[in-house]
A = this chain, B = another copy of it.
Amino acid sequence: MPSSGTQTYHHGDLRSALLDAAANRIENQGIEGLSLRKLADDVGVSRSALYHHFRDKNALLNAVAANGFASWIAMTSESGGDESVPAPVRMKQFVYGYVHWAVEHPQLYDLMFGRPIWKNDLADDELKDVAYPAFQYMLSLITHWQQQGLLLADKPALRQTQVIWATLHGLAKLVTDGVYADSSHIDEMCDCAVNMLLPSVN
């Protein structure tokens, strides 16, 4: 059976099969628990078949993270794009959406925004091409808020974006890392963050 997918040799579509299996394993066992050999077993293929589709383990993780950014962007633009909803409500929705998405995909969030990839400059071009627009989207969103007078204009929008993002990222991290043990208070923490950072939403 030839032309069914993009790659239709022995396996059919090994590349995306590996990506799916990797995403599954990461969601369940985390990045530390991901071994290429177990992965090959999951897909029913030999241990080094993978190297014909990814240069090495890092390249595979990059691809999984890239997929994560794609679905992150889908989530974000959905919750922030509806112009019929008043801006203050949208701001609150954005905060809730951000933190909840991280809490619902803790391992993936960790892979996307965590240090192993970014710290050591291990992100390849494909990943950067998806990740940078995500950063940029937040900046444009918050710049828009500032222009509408929802934020104080005494500091550059870039800095305010960095601080707001830091707060969201910090909340997400502290919750998903289990430092804030009682995650039942996520909504209250989000409320408080909105209250402190976004004076126009009271």
Residues of B within 8 A of A169 (CB): 170, 173-174
Q: Is A32 an interface residue (CB 8 A)?
A: yes
Question: Which of the residues B165, B171, B177, B192 comes within 8 Å of A113, measured between beta carbons?
Answer: B177
Q: Is the CB of B189 within 8 A of A174?
A: no
Chain A interface main SS type: helix
Nearest-Cβ distance from residue A24 to partner chain B, whole angstroms: 19
Nearest opposing residue in chain B for A167, CB measure: B167
Chain A 180-202 interface residues, beta-carbon cutoff 8 Å to B: 180, 185, 188-189, 191-193, 195-197
Bound state CA distance, A91 and B191, in angstroms?
A: 23
Nearest-Cβ distance from residue A168 to partner chain B, whole angstroms: 7
Nearest-Cβ distance from residue A81 to partner chain B, whole angstroms: 24
Q: Is A62 an interface residue (CB 8 A)?
A: no
Residues of B within 8 A of A166 (CB): 166-167, 170-171, 173-174, 189, 193
A-B residue pairs in contact (CB < 8 Å), sample of 29: A32-B116, A113-B177, A114-B177, A115-B176, A115-B177, A115-B178, A118-B178, A119-B176, A152-B196, A155-B192, A156-B192, A159-B188, A159-B192, A162-B171, A162-B174, A162-B189, A163-B171, A163-B192, A165-B170, A165-B174, A166-B166, A166-B189, A166-B193, A169-B173, A170-B170, A170-B171, A170-B173, A196-B196, A197-B197
